[in-house]
Structure 1
């Protein structure tokens, strides 16, 4: 599977002011240094968001993704790797010989789920993918377009982790372990990795 992020969180959606306040940094002085600091804080926030999303499988700020598979994991239903999913925008099958077929929306449906949204066939099974072909699913996921729509515990986890990245900015070989406070905040959001491949029938 390949998962491609087609759009990035908008710069204005990042809680730069909240991080600056959390770090108790001076603010209100416009100039090159202030702009550089803002850009640096935004970078720490993006890194923290990516880490939290990677650990939980939850998309904090809404954006579009493209998932590519060489075949369905299960033709009775294909789980999506991220949540919450707002919409599945397009599903297409490439036969590997230059022909791409867009699946009509009436032939499938998306079942929302807090942990693992699923694409189900309208009929018995999802369409066949040729041996050398590929299926591409384009979908939109995220809690919202603005930071105030992100759950409070996840938002706080991002601030704590971004602050840690800020504090460690001059150190080489920063450790990969999450601070305990961050781990505690995201624990309830972590995806339960049960049968996600062939043979899974969680959605039935």
Structure 2
């Protein structure tokens, strides 16, 4: 399977001015738009890291997912969350011929943790031998920065500031994330329940 991010968060959607204020940059530096690209890079890195940690897309954008076989034809879990729209489902046979699946044959089962594409009938259409299916979706918690929960927005700024402060540090371990950031994002992490342990088995 292959997941592709078709669109990225546009620069205009990044809170670069808030980030400058958070860093308390000097007036001359803070108003210098030549630095915006550098600051945007830290913001993007922070967004990617937090999305990976919580298993959710922050700012809405387009993704395509290509697979060679359904794991469950009664309802396939999508690899990104939350999904707001399924734009298209395209079946490709072994000879490379594409067929856009009739939207009446499937529906989106929205879920903040595990959205699914489900058949309106009994099962999703079978994928032919050597064929694939491509699912085009829009996923994200908010359309723009202002729509994000305040704690997630603060977590992005804190982590971006951490990256900025230690930008020349080479000894930091992979995945290093300050405690303040992990505390803010903790409730958004995907829950996993161990069978037979009840609530005691819930892990985030």
Query: 1:25 maps to what in 2?
Result: 25
1:147-158 to structure 2, matched below 5 A, reads: 147-158=145-156
Matched, 1:58 2:38: no
Quick check: 1:13–1:145 contact (8 Å CA) kept in 2? Answer: no
d(CA) in 1 for partners of 2:171 and 2:97? 47
d(CA) in 2 for partners of 1:164 and 1:118? 35
d(CA) in 1 for partners of 2:78 and 2:108? 10
- For structure 1, list consecutive stretches of 5 or more residues without a partner in the other structure: 196-204
Calculate the TM-score normalised by the size of structure 1. 0.89
1:85-100 to structure 2, matched below 5 A, reads: 85-100=83-98
1:79-90 to structure 2, matched below 5 A, reads: 79-90=77-88
Query: 1:36 maps to what in 2?
Result: 34
Q: CA deviation at 1:89?
A: 0.2
Q: For residues 30-82 of structure 1, give each alpha carbon's deviation from its aligned partner in whole angstroms, at most 9, with x where no partner exists.
A: 88xx2332111100000000111111121111110001111111111011122
- For structure 2, list consecutive stretches of 5 or more residues without a partner in the other structure: 195-204
Query: 2:103 maps to what in 1?
Result: 105
Aligned residues: 193
Quick check: 1:14–1:42 contact (8 Å CA) kept in 2? Answer: yes
d(CA) in 1 for partners of 2:155 and 2:30? 29
Quick check: 1:157–1:186 contact (8 Å CA) kept in 2? Answer: yes
d(CA) in 2 for partners of 1:95 and 1:169? 48
d(CA) in 1 for partners of 2:152 and 2:18? 14
Q: CA deviation at 1:194?
A: 6.3
Quick check: 1:93–1:103 contact (8 Å CA) kept in 2? Answer: yes
Matched, 1:162 2:160: yes
Residues 1:63 and 1:106: Cα distance change in structure 2 (over 3 Å) = same
d(CA) in 2 for partners of 1:194 and 1:92? 34
d(CA) in 2 for partners of 1:172 and 1:181? 21
